[in-house]
Amino acid sequence: MADANLEDLPGVGAKTAEKLKDAGYDTLMSIATMSAADLSEVADLGSKTANKIIIAARKELDLGFQTGSDKLEERKSMAKISLSSENFNDLLDGGVETQSITEFYGEFGSAKTQCALQLAVNCQLPEEDGGLDKGVVFIDTEDTFIPERVEQMAEGAGLDPEEVLDNIFVARAYNSDHQILLAEKAQDIIKKNDIGLIVVDSLTAQFRSDYVGRGQLAERQQKLNKHMHTLQRLANTFNTAVVVTNQVMSNPGQLFGDPTSAIGGHIVGHASAFRIYLRKSKKDKRIARLVDCPYLPEGEAVFRVTENGLEDA
């Protein structure tokens, strides 16, 4: 984004920004094209921090090219959030990744929201317990963020329920434009608070009701595409995980024939690195299927939704 400020880069506080500006480095482009050695000298920073800032500036500008070592550095900082079920974690090779968008889709009651809430709790666990020890931004579009349920899950995870709720920044989106705006504004909260996860539950519900009918499909897809880009940029810039939920088409006559295809079609599908199809099984059991992930084997995991949250079946 060309309109981003130096202070928007992770690791750049007011003081550092001041030093950089004094030295003539007052645009993202000037930072993006610096060497780490120069930056660390000019702004009096460690080389690791300098490197991180340069990578973030390049990302912000979307210069397109990255060196192999940038890429390696980025992969090294990638972390995972546990889903509280060994089966489920195995399916995802450890859990939900930072720097990527993970989409949970399925019909009503398939446990999309339960997965999102569990991740919002688990993100706050210490790293050795499968968390990031960080807070959460939760964009709630259907008014299904239930604090009491979060408290239950927090207790189940051995965390202090009050603290867990204090570390989740919830915003209710009233329509799709509001939802887009909230994602764009999330940057401010992410910068001020150590945020490891951004949830959008549901990604598509507001779009679905705001853009009705075939005539508005193109516009809807365009807006959705932009929204996904905003989320991906946040994921990259701040090393956060992004989790979105998505309903499936219930009416086969509508737009697509496959009754299990997710709303938003290829726009959402392409933007999500991990797509998890959830379906109901007997009683509290749910089945998660990993769908076309380029580097993990396709497979399924069975888990349960209990009082404590997600558990192995």
Contacting positions for ligand GTP (CB under 6 A): 106, 108-114, 144, 149, 247, 284, 305-307
Cα–Cα distance for residue pair 274/243, rounded to 1 Å: 9
Minimum separation from the CB atom of position 254 to ligand GTP (A)? 16
Task: Please say which residue, 89 or 110, places its beta carbon nearer to ligand GTP.
Answer: 110
Minimum separation from the CB atom of position 83 to ligand GTP (A)? 13
Which span (21-29, 63-71, 143-151, 175-183) binds Mg ion, by CB under 5 A?
A: 143-151
* Residue showing the smallest CB distance to Mg ion in the complex: 113
Minimum separation from the CB atom of position 114 to ligand GTP (A)? 4
Task: Please say which residue, 85 or 113, places its beta carbon nearer to Mg ion.
Answer: 113
Which span (107-115, 123-131, 281-289, 305-313) binds Mg ion, by CB under 5 A?
A: 107-115
Q: Which of 40, 89, 113, 247 binds Mg ion (CB under 5 A)?
A: 113
Contacts of residue 295, defined as CB under 8 A and 6 or more positions apart, other chains included, come to none
Minimum separation from the CB atom of position 122 to ligand GTP (A)? 15
Cα–Cα distance for residue pair 166/153, rounded to 1 Å: 14
Task: Please say which residue, 43 or 123, places its beta carbon nearer to ligand GTP.
Answer: 123
Phi-psi region for residue 77, left (φ > 0), alpha (ψ -120 to 50) or beta? alpha
Do 6 and 31 form a contact (C-beta atoms < 8 A)?
yes
With 0-12 / 13-18 / 19 or more C-beta atoms within 10 angstroms meaning exposed / middle / buried, residue 76 is exposed
Per-residue b or e along 174-192, where b marks 16 or more CB atoms closer than 10 Å to that residue's CB = eebeebbebbbebbeebbe
Task: Please say which residue, 149 or 289, places its beta carbon nearer to ligand GTP.
Answer: 149
Tokens of 267: 């726009």
Distances (CA, A) of 50 to 8, 31, 70, 98, 191: 14, 10, 12, 21, 17
Task: Please say which residue, 102 or 113, places its beta carbon nearer to Mg ion.
Answer: 113
Task: Please say which residue, 260 or 306, places its beta carbon nearer to ligand GTP.
Answer: 306
Which span (69-77, 139-147, 148-156, 303-311) binds Mg ion, by CB under 5 A?
A: 139-147
Minimum separation from the CB atom of position 90 to ligand GTP (A)? 21
Phi-psi region for residue 203, left (φ > 0), alpha (ψ -120 to 50) or beta? alpha
Minimum separation from the CB atom of position 97 to ligand GTP (A)? 21
Residues at the site binding Mg ion, with contacts judged by CB under 5 A: 112-113, 144
